[in-house]
Amino acid sequence: LGGWLPPFDFAPFTWVPGLIWFVLKVCLVFFMISMVKAFVPRYRYDQLMRLGWKVFLPISLAMVVIVAAFLKITGFA
């Protein structure tokens, strides 16, 4: 997010002190994390294990194969 730097580098944004930008960005990140925590349901341990084994593992293995094929085809490897 750029720390204390303004999001845009032109006049109205550069007038604001860096500490203000930093505090605003920290508040924004805290707000976004709070919203995700509020809206995403809590999974039980067995649901997380099922999700990991039946969804995330096949997707990640497929992505490894896709990236390897892409690198082989394009000649980056």
Helix, strand, coil % in the chain, rounded to nearest 5: 75, 0, 25
The DSSP 8-state label assigned to residue 15 in this structure reads T
| Spans of all domains in the chain | 1-40, 42-77
pLDDT tens for each residue of 5-53: 888 888 888 898 989 989 999 999 999 999 999 998 888 999 999 999 9
How confident is the model at residue 77, as a pLDDT? Answer: 67
pLDDT class of 2 with cuts at 50, 70, 90:
confident
Q: What residue type is assigned to position 5 of the chain? A: L
How confident is the model at residue 13, as a pLDDT? Answer: 82
Nearest to 5 by CA among 15, 16, 18: 18
Measured in whole angstroms, the distance separating CA 46 from the mean position of its chain's CA atoms is 25
How confident is the model at residue 51, as a pLDDT? Answer: 93
Predicted TM-score (pTM) of this structure:
0.55
